[in-house]
Amino acid sequence: MNDTFFQIIDILGTIAFAISGVLVALNKRMDAFGVLIIAFVTAVGGGTLRDVMIGIEPVSWMTNMTYVYVIIGSAILAVVLKKYIGYLSRTLFLFDTIGIALYTVVGIEVGLIAGLHPIICIALGTMTACFGGVIRDILCNEIPVIFRKEIYATACILGGLTYFLLREFLEDRNYLFIIAGLIVMTVRLLAVRFEISLPSLYKDEKK
């Protein structure tokens, strides 16, 4: 994958997750410091866990201040434009969906660079995409989306599987990563649109 293209995807994912973190923090009526912290952990939480697990020291965002500047800039922009983007769940859903799609392919790429097995690469992609949101929701006293019935991590896994199924047929890895990211977004959007969810473990749950 082209290094510039990879960095663009990484930055776009950072922006999307930072904004989703700001929206949640604003909805919880946090102060400026709280908003910035939630934006930060949402944007880099999954990537930090990924880097720690595969032994990258220090973690990537600590050696590249671009991420810090992007998160701060995105947080400020989201706060300034809050009247336009609002607190609507649809807006949060959009940025969250974009974030998980982009970060899934970023995590897969990092796993490939580290020479890991495809299954582990998919796991890293899913972790990179989901765990920033997990930390965000825990800090905001919410049940993380990944632990509910919604199709969330499943979309990331399907995107990862798509990548490895198609990698033998596409020479251009840029297109391959775009397709995998679009699969994540499409699965997530269709699941919400048609109310598709994982089966419940509780038979007496009311629909």
CA distance 158 to 87: 29
For residue range 51-73, list pLDDT tens digits in order.
999 999 899 899 999 999 999 99
**Least confidently predicted of 121-125, 132-136, 195-199:** 195-199
Residue 166, domain member (yes or no): yes
Q: Does residue 23 fall inside a structural domain?
A: yes
Residues 160-194 have pLDDT tens digits of 999 999 988 888 888 898 999 999 999 999 998 88
Q: Round to whole Å and give the CA distance between 171 and 18.
A: 32
How far is 123 from 160, CA to CA, in rounded Å? 9
Domain with 162, as residue range(s), is 3-193
Please report the DSSP string for 109-165 in residue order: HHHHHTT--HHHHHHHHHHHHHHHHHHHHHHTT---GGGSSBSSHHHHHHHHHHHHH
- Residue 125 resides in a domain: yes
Residue 67 in domain: yes
Q: How many domains does the chain have?
A: 1
Residue 2 pLDDT: 66
What are the structure tokens assigned to 69, written together? 């500047």
**pLDDT tens digits, residue range 97-123?**
999 999 999 999 999 999 999 999 999
**Would 74 be classed as within a structural domain?**
yes
Residue 201 domain-assigned? Answer: no
pTM over 0.85: yes
